[in-house]
Structure 1
């Protein structure tokens, strides 16, 4: 097997995603294995792992599968090396900016939630003896 390819188990370990989740993302078209072994096993590349990491990071921020697919499409097109017209490139960058802004907003909401949780835990600690 080519050293550049990984089986799904290694990808699951590296991404901290379950095999079932990786297969689900494959079924929904978010990531497609780059190759198959002679035995029919899915084979993934570093690029596939990077795509799964994008999905893994977006999910807890509340992004939908369609939004994940849209962002991956935009970044794939920007990273393709293809010559893009200036207006097309700007539209793609604007899509990425929108997701960055959405992520930043979710991070701020999570900071507020974390602060409230820490305050609550401190309040409970203060009620306990010694």
Structure 2
């Protein structure tokens, strides 16, 4: 399916993102439709869907649109097929490593918050159980 194009509605279903959000990400320069239909409809590829999935995954971790753009530009550069100098590859991989470390820290923070929330709901449930 890599050569096939999808309209924005199918992309929205596949990525579980609202149409408005996809258009916002397009306006922000994070993703651009690969083509337009004769009627002017946005057309996307599997690569575009993968890109939107990255954006969707980064948002709950608190990454800004600028940070997401930086990561996407970094991976685009690595995937460009251009012959890169070893120092540039190292620099790009270091940038990705930084994102990975930040994401790991944020996941741990979310786990801690979830544990606190579960403890709280357990306390409420126990309180309700005693009142019955």
Q: Residue 45 of structure 2 corresponds to which residue in structure 1?
A: 45
Which stretches in structure 2 are left out of the alignment for 5+ residues?
Answer: none
Q: How does 1:98-113 map to 2 (within 5 A)?
A: 98-113=98-113
Aligned alpha-carbon RMSD (Å): 1.3
Shift of 1:81: 1.6
Shift of 1:127: 0.9
Distance 2:3 2:86 in 1: 38
Shift of 1:125: 1.0
Q: Residue 36 of structure 2 corresponds to which residue in structure 1?
A: 36
Count of paired positions: 129
Distance 1:24 1:121 in 2: 35
Distance 2:35 2:3 in 1: 13
Q: How does 1:2-81 map to 2 (within 5 A)?
A: 4-81=4-81
1:72-96 deviations in Å (ceiling 9; x for gaps)? 0000111122111000000100110
Q: Which segments of structure 1 move beyond 4 Å, counting only runs of 4 or more? A: none
State the TM-score, normalized to the length of structure 2: 0.94
